Every structure is written in C-alpha cells, then in structure tokens.
Chain A
Amino acid sequence: MKIERYLFTFIFFLLSLPQLSSKELKVLRWAADAESNAPYIFQDPKIPTNIIGFEVDIVNAIAEILNVETKFVQNQWDGLIPGLYRGDYDIAINGLEITEDRKKEVNFTNPYYITHEQLVVLRGVNYINSLSDLVGRKVGALKNSLAERILRAKGGINVLTYEGEVNAFVDMKNGRIEAVLVDAPIAIYYTAVNPEFVMVGQPIGEISYGIALRKQDTFLLNKLNWAIDKLRKTGKLREILESWNLWNFMMETYFDDFTPSNVPPRKYQYFVEAVGKKSEIAERINLYIKFLPVFFQAALITLGLSLLAMLLAIFVGLIIALARIYGGKIISSLAVTYIETIRGTPLLIQLYLIFYALPSIGIKLSPFLAAILGLGLNYAAYEAEVYRSGFFAIPRGQMEAAISLGMTKFQAIWHIILPQAIRIVIPPVTNDFISLLKDSSLVSVITMIELTKVYNQIASTYYDYLGTGIITAILYLLLGLPFIRIARYFERRLAIERKGNQNINGKVV
C-alpha cells in the first residue's frame, strides 16, 4: 500500500521527540503480528490463547540472556515499524527482511535467520523447476517481498501479488496462478500440512531477518547483537531453529557450523500433527467449539468498542448538526468543513493519524481509546448529516409555535425540535451502528484485537478460512440483530404516528 508508506514517512518526519532509551531495561516489549502464520509467530493450534513460533523462542532466549521479562504487543504487520516510534514496544521481530529501505527508518540487529525464496507448485506439475520456467506464466508472491522483486527482475513473468500467502496458495489451487514464490519457512510449513502443494527447484535468492528497533536505541542494539551472538556461540539459536525444522545450509555457512543436526524437529512435528491431518467433521466441530470462547471474547470487544464509538458519534454528531443548522456563518462553516473532511478521507488513514501521528504532538492514546475516538469521530460526521435531515423533516411551524409561546431558541430546540428529530433519526442511526459494527474491524490496524483480527489469526493458523469465517459472520450477525430489531420497532411506531398526523391534518397544506 503506497499511501501508507508515504504516510509513515510523514509520521517519521513528525517524530522528533527523543525517546528515553538510556533507562534500565527491565521488560523487553516486543511486537509482531500473530496473524503471520507458522512458523514465525502464530496461535498454538491446540491452545489458541498461546502465541508460539520460532521467533517467539528467539525472543525468549534473548530475554533470558539479558535477564529481562518479555511483553508481547500485537500489531498489524504493516504497522510494526511505525509502532516502534509510537513507543508502545521496543523491538519488532516478525520475518522483517533487512533491506536498505527499512534501514533508513530503523536499525536492525545482525540477522537471526537467513533463508531463501522457494518455489511451490501444485503436486503433479512437472514443468516448473526454476525461475526460467516461469517466464510467460502467472506467478504469485507476497506484496513488497524479496520474491516479488526477484520475479520482476527476471522479466517476462506475470507477477500477481498477495497480502497473505494463503490467498496465493488458494489462487494456485483454483488455477489462477501456476506457481508461488515465498520465503522458505512459509513453503516448508504450508506444504507440510497441505500435501496438494510441493516445493520444487533450487533455493532462490537470499533473505536475512533482523530485529528492528528505533534508531536512537543504540545501547539496546548492542545488547541485542551481543545476545544473538551469544545464542549462536552456545548453540541455542541452532537448537531453536532445528526444533522448528528451519536449520539450513545458509545458516551453516553463516554460523560456520557444519556438524550434523542433532535436535529433532519436535515443534515442527507438533504443528504438522495438530494442523496437518485432515480432520473429520466431528473433530473440526470440536475444534471450533474450543475456539468459541476466544471468538466470544473478541466479539465482546467488537461490541463494546462499537457501542462506545457510537455513543461518541451520536453526541458529537448532534453538536455538529446543531452547529451546522443554528450556528451562524462561521460556526456553521466549521461544522461543514469537519463533515466534509471526515467523509472525504478514508477511515483507515484517520485511524493511522490518530494512532501514529498524534503521539508526536504529545497525545498518546491507548489502542482502545484511539479506536473509539477514530471510529466515533468518523461516524459523528455521518450522524451529523442524519440529524440534519431529521431536523429538516420537522415542519417549520413547530419552531414558530414554540418561539411564539415565549421559548428561547435553545428551549425550543431542546424541548420541541430535538425530541421529534431523535425519533425520526433512530432508524437511520441504528443502521449506521450496524455498519459501524462492521467497520470496527478496521481498528486491527492500530493493534486492537477484535473479532475480525481473531478470525484472521485462527484462520491463518489452521489455513481454514471457511469454517472460522462462517463462525465470524454469524457472530457479527448476532451482534447486529438486536439493533436491526430496534430500528424496525421505531420505524413501525413512527409510521403509526405519521399516519395519525395525516388524519388530523386533513386538508392542511
């Protein structure tokens, strides 16, 4: 996403406050996206509330050496580096390739893992074995990955890029592409549990993963490098990688350690066992039942978040609507500006600005508050317009009757106009709430773990998007249903009153 990149650059520009880096490190706060699939960081297939992965093991090993506690912070993969500068965590580790571009923004430790790109095709496809075989074919790769750059550099290949590897594999299964080029760990784990895919050809390219941290944290950088080196010397890092079946010839060269492997890949086997076997329907349902509490918890967060955001939207929206209708020239045009600006810009960008840019002027909100504020202020603009139409639906005579009874304008609005307008706008506002409920899934970009995020995490652990997707959809539906009923109820009541009014109005103009 190009626009996000520009935005981030802009945010870095804003971030000029020096961070407190010299203080004694007691807790190593580390960030990753638990949706990033095996074997990096993912949910334990047997205990969904646990986060596991070879990078988790590496962080824990480093923490042990540095004698510090660890604290995991969930963040969207795209937001990992900007989040560093928000100060919510100190390091980001999540298959982040050490590139020149990224080095301009952050410091990287020495690599903790070196690997290559790997071709994957459907089992039985025997005409693809190298990059050259891909010319003239459609090939999938992850967006902004080394694989994409390699494919484009080769020329003549029709490259399709994807946000997540599972999408690429599914597309290959459906015949839209003929091969996928991904980082080797992904290929190893995906093919292990999806036997319809196989790895083919020689290793392609070289990719080094490093831990990213803020530029100014040089002290921490040295400490981490020292720890990684120690892990190398003690053989601990090799042990971790072997247990995940990730030790490779590139690591042998990098570590200058060519002894035969001696640690069984038990974590790899654990994963393959848990995810790989094609489970019976009954087993699958058992699995889903095991997930349900996690889903329910996430649904509650979604609901709570949406309700609070809607409350804010209803309140702020009302003020904006009143300002627009009764505010006089200057206030009214301010209200219009707010409405048009908010409605004219993507919610996603607004969330990014609130979460990543506000800290640079000293306003650092928790993800929950930022999410409520972002959604609430966004919907306030829409609610303001809904109110406005509600106000206009009330005959002018109502205001005049109130004024001529000696009420002030404010009293008239409060006692006469507002109560009637609110009844008119309840159905549309309720509808908006239902769409807010769904839009709330966007806040996962600012580290909130809500329903859609949990769905993605669980789905990506099991490569099961259908069953978990249906559960998620049902939960959204259940969350929204009561409100749909409320809207219906008020619509009906209003219709009765309206009908009544027509009767008495008779021939009234």
Chain B
Amino acid sequence: MNGVVLEVRNIYKKFGNIEILKNLSFSVQKGELISIIGRSGCGKTTLLRCINCLEIFDYGYLRVGEIEIERTNLNLASKNNGFIEEIIEEKAQKIRQKVGMLFQNLNLFPHLTVLENITLAPIVVKKEPKEKAIDNALKLLEKVGLKGYENRYPYQLSGGQSQRVAIARSLAMNPEIMLYDEPTSALDPELIGEVLNVMIDLHQEGMTQIVVTHAMNFAKSASDYVMYMENGEIIEIGKPEKIFGEPNDPRTEAYVRLFKE
C-alpha cells in the first residue's frame, strides 16, 4: 500500500439536485500535510466531511487505513436498502475512529472540563481504563501547550486555547489522519498562530493532516501539497511552490492571484 493512508476514488456527492462533489480522486501518503484551498462553496468542507464519514458519499470508493467503503451503481440503486446502509454505517463509524476532525466552530463540550473533554471518547469508545486515558490526556495537553488547564471549563478558555484542546481531544483517539475545517477562521488574528504551530509540530511528528484553509501563508509554507478545488472538482494538486508560483491551470492561477496583492 506504499504508505498510502487515504485513498479517494471517483467520489460523488449530491445534496438534493445539486452536485457538490464531482468525481474526486486523490490519495494521501502517511505523514503528509495537505492544504485544500478554494472559494466558499467549492465543496472542500463537504469533501472533509465525506472523508470523516459525517456524510456518506453517493458513489465512489474511500479507504482509510484498511477500512474501505465502496458505493457502486448496484448499491446506489438500492440506497434505501437498510442492510447495505447498516454495513456502511458500521464501517463509517470505524473510519470516524481513525480520523480526527477539527471544526471551524468551537465545539468543545461545555458541560465537561478540559480533561473530561479529552478523555471521554477514549473511555467511552475505546474502553480505555480511566487512568490511562487521563495520563494520555495530560501528555496531549502538554503537547498543545496547555499544561495545567485540565480542570478548566471551556467557557474559561480563549478561542485559540479551545481549538488546541479540540486538537488534543481528537489526538486522544490516536487517529491515523487529522482533518481540519478552517480551524482558525473563527479566531482573533493574534490567536491563529498558536493553533497553526500545533499543526506544524504534528507534521514534524509524522501525523497525516488535511487542512481546509484560507490562511494562504500557512498553506504555502507548511504543506507538502496544496489542492485547489472549484465547483466540486479538484482542479489541481501540487507542491505549494508550484501552485502558488506557476500553476498549470488558469483557474488556479486566477484564484491564487487574489492573495498576491
């Protein structure tokens, strides 16, 4: 499998009659950091949600680690077939455990402390012993630079701190891939750096990460590859210097030019 941890092949997704994703294919090697850029509504968030199986695509093939979901014409036609849906949902849940996702909005669980936010899923989903989960959580908090914050409640944190706890929360599940959906767009400018730095640290540790972002400097400097999307299609994937320097496609060029001035 050549270290390919994520494989996406011919994925389609519709909402009602509107095609959001049209025949997307790409793969990600272990340890890569991929930035997805593009205009609002181009389908990049939907793509992330499909990878994390928050939405199940209508047609295509997805592999995360060893878990595969395939939707062919055959089972597309029987979309209302409860049995197939059940199998897919079962696999989807396994995939969700392997994929961590960070959302644009701050959605720590407000009724739980920082520590409880991090340990809940390992204890509930992976049935980890509580002591082990706490141990691990404290290490993760240190890693995201929030040592000593474990007993705070989310309302006592700044936005940047919240996002860093959210990253720790996802990491606690020991994911193979981390997805970020505009992780800094809700933050005050001075808080953006602290979140991005955590991602850069993770990159150095070999975590596979996919980031949907409008932070072009980050995409340019930190990612291994940049993917440009438009109208539900992947227009171009390339090294950042290529995409931001001399992209192949005029549509990519038109977009990145917006950020040059």
Contacts and interface: CB of A to CB of B under 8 A. Distances in A.
Please say whether chains A and B are actual partners in one complex. Answer: yes
B9 interface: no
Given A497-B110, A505-B106, A406 B93 contact: yes
B124 A415 contact: yes
B128 interface: no
10 nearest interchain CB pairs?
A500-B155, A406-B97, A397-B107, A405-B121, A404-B101, A401-B107, A406-B125, A508-B186, A406-B96, A397-B105
A481 interface: no
A405 B96 contact: yes
Contacts of A398: 107, 109
Contact of B155 (A420, A503, A507): A503
28 contacts: A397-B103, A397-B107, A398-B107, A398-B109, A400-B103, A401-B101, A401-B107, A403-B54, A404-B99, A405-B100, A405-B169, A406-B97, A407-B121, A407-B125, A415-B120, A415-B124, A419-B111, A497-B155, A500-B155, A501-B155, A503-B155, A504-B158, A504-B162, A505-B159, A507-B186, A507-B188, A508-B105, A509-B105
A506 B188 CA distance: 8
A505 B108 CA distance: 11
B78 interface: no
B54 A500 contact: no
Given A400-B107, A423-B111, A504 B124 contact: no
Given A406-B97, A501-B110, A400 B124 contact: no
A416 interface: yes
A369 B154 CA distance: 45
B106 A406 contact: no
A130 B194 CA distance: 98
B46 interface: no
Interface string B135-172: 00000000000000000011111110010001001100
Nearest to A505: B106
A146 B51 CA distance: 81
Majority-rule SS of A interface residues: helix
A408 interface: yes
A404 B108 CA distance: 12
A411 interface: yes
The CB with the most chain A CB atoms within 10 A, among B52, B108, B111, B126, is that of B111
B153 A506 contact: no
Interface string A487-509: 00000000001011101111111
Interface of A: 395, 397-398, 400-408, 411, 415-416, 419-420, 423, 497, 499-501, 503-509
B173 interface: yes
Contacts of A504: 106, 154-155, 157-159, 162
B54 A400 contact: yes
Given A400-B54, A405-B170, A407-B124, A506 B111 contact: no
B157 A401 contact: no
A204 to B, nearest CB: 72
The CB with the most chain A CB atoms within 10 A, among B99, B121, B166, B186, is that of B121
A294 to B, nearest CB: 45
A500 B109 contact: no
A497 B100 CA distance: 27
A416 B109 contact: yes
Given A406-B125, A500-B156, A507-B188, 8 more contacts: A397-B103, A397-B105, A405-B96, A405-B125, A415-B120, A497-B153, A505-B106, A505-B159
Contacts of A419: 111
Nearest to B121: A405
A420 B103 contact: no
A406 B105 contact: no
Contact of A401 (B109, B155, B186): B109
Contacts of B110: 420, 497, 501
Contacts of B101: 401, 404
Nearest to B126: A406
B126 to A, nearest CB: 8
Contacts of B107: 395, 397-398, 400-401
A411 B124 contact: yes
Contacts of B188: 506-507
B186 A405 contact: no
Contacts of B170: 404-405
A328 to B, nearest CB: 11
A345 to B, nearest CB: 36
The CB with the most chain B CB atoms within 10 A, among A401, A404, A507, A508, is that of A404
Interface string B51-78: 0101000000000000000000000000
